[in-house]
Amino acid sequence: MVSRCASPSFSITKYTPHQGSLLTSLKPFSSQKPGARIEYKLQQNHIFCALRKDSHASLTHTHENELLFKDKSPTREKGRLSATSSENAPSSFSTKLDMFIKFVRPYATIGIIGNTICMCILPVQTMADLSPRFFIGVAQAIASMVLMNLFNVAVNQVYDVELDKVNKPYLPLASGGVSMTSATLFTILTAALSIALGYFSSPALFYGSIAFFLSASAYSVNFPLLRWKHNALGAIISLMLWGISLQTGVFFHIQQYVLGKPMVLTKSFIYAIIFQSLFSIVAATLKDLPDVEGDKANGSTNLTILIGKEKVFWGSTSLMLATYIGTAAFGATLPVLENKLIIMIAHSAIAVFLWLQAKQTNLADDASTQSYYLLMWKLCNIEYLLIPFVG
């Protein structure tokens, strides 16, 4: 409801959207001359009254659309646009940065760094091995593998953009937040830099980055005989090759070419390969749980479509539980007491935690299954902290 102006010359009345119609009927003030008309305009949630003498028409409900009008002054309009542009500039940069962060998926980068550092530590036998040369070698390995992982993340989104518009329309490339040209250039640049850095570091790191590149390409690239992600066995093989190529390349890069030691397969390295292989099976199957509808529309034949969500979920969970329980049992055989306790207690606790989380997961809710899939990667990152205690 809009109240009448209290003053014969000027007054202000607030208006909120909850008040409904702006006004029903207003008549000129009795104190004004018979020819006066009151005009209103909305500015910063206030209705301002002004007097005009050139009309006898009174305002009614039918004039509501005429009450709201803009200042057509070019000078003021130009100033307003300039102010708006300057205010939106930081917001625009912030939005682009946020889109880039979502595009590169930092959680995957954190996992790659953890895996790489773990593999660098395994060949170390004495404190004397922790020389400046060692840390340079670690930096080379991290830089090369992080760059190749960025390629892996980017190329997957480039070739999945149409599928993501159905399954994950919020992703930067699918939503238009990142252009296809920028994504393609980023993909090529990261792969080239990773391979070049590996080439100038050591043969082991070079071949490791090449193997990583090939497995990532086989998984995502839509070329003949490739695009393994849409085949259950192909997805498992490509993820397994990805993990093994990274771990093998980094391990021998440090052991043989940085520390100058003979090539030896340590107990902890063998366990790392086994764990990574088993985890690859789990990751390759669980990743499809939130994407069933889009995968069906795209003609995929992954395991979730073939046998159903529930069997894939509990089969993958059971495999990881068996892995953790088996590792805890293996820990009982370790000769060093500290290592024995760490491996047994940590893996038993992780197994219990995983079981409880699995019981709480709602298979009918895509957000819930996606959260469970990401939990698996977090547990995998924790495993990188525990692997050195196996040896």
Measured CA to CA, the distance from residue 31 to residue 194 in angstroms comes to: 83
pLDDT, tens digit (0-9, with 9 covering 90-100), for 129-161: 999 999 999 999 999 999 999 999 889 888 888
The pLDDT, as a whole number, for residue 375 is 92
Is the per-residue pLDDT at 47 higher than 80?
Answer: no
The alpha helices in the chain, defined as continuous H runs, are: 64-67, 74-104, 106-121, 132-159, 161-167, 172-175, 180-201, 203-220, 232-252, 267-286, 292-297, 303-307, 309-331, 337-360, 366-386
Q: Is the pLDDT of residue 75 over 70?
A: no
Query: Which residues 6+ apart lie within 8 Å of 157 measured at CB?
Result: 103, 164, 171, 172, 173, 174, 183
CATH architecture group of domain 101-277:
Orthogonal Bundle (1.10)
pLDDT of residue 369 exceeding 90? no
What are the residues whose beta carbons fall under 8 Å from the beta carbon of 191, sequence distance 6 or more? Answer: 147, 148, 151, 155, 213
Q: What is the pLDDT of residues 146-203, one digit of tens each?
A: 999 999 988 988 888 877 777 778 888 888 888 888 889 999 999 999 999 999 999 9
d(CA 235, CA 280): 9
> What's the farthest any 2 CA atoms get from each other in the chain?
107
What are 59's strand-pairing partners? 26
Confirm if 194 and 147 have CB atoms less than 8 A apart.
Answer: yes
Distance CA 170, CA 181 (A): 19
Which sign does the torsion angle of CA 214, 219, 222, 227 carry? positive
Token reading at 156: 């997957």
CB atoms within 10 A of CB 16: 7
User: What pLDDT, on the 0 to 100 scale, is given for residue 187?
Assistant: 93
Tokens of 288: 């499809």
Please report, for the chain, the start and end positions of each structural domain, with discontinuous segments joined by +.
12-67, 101-277, 299-391
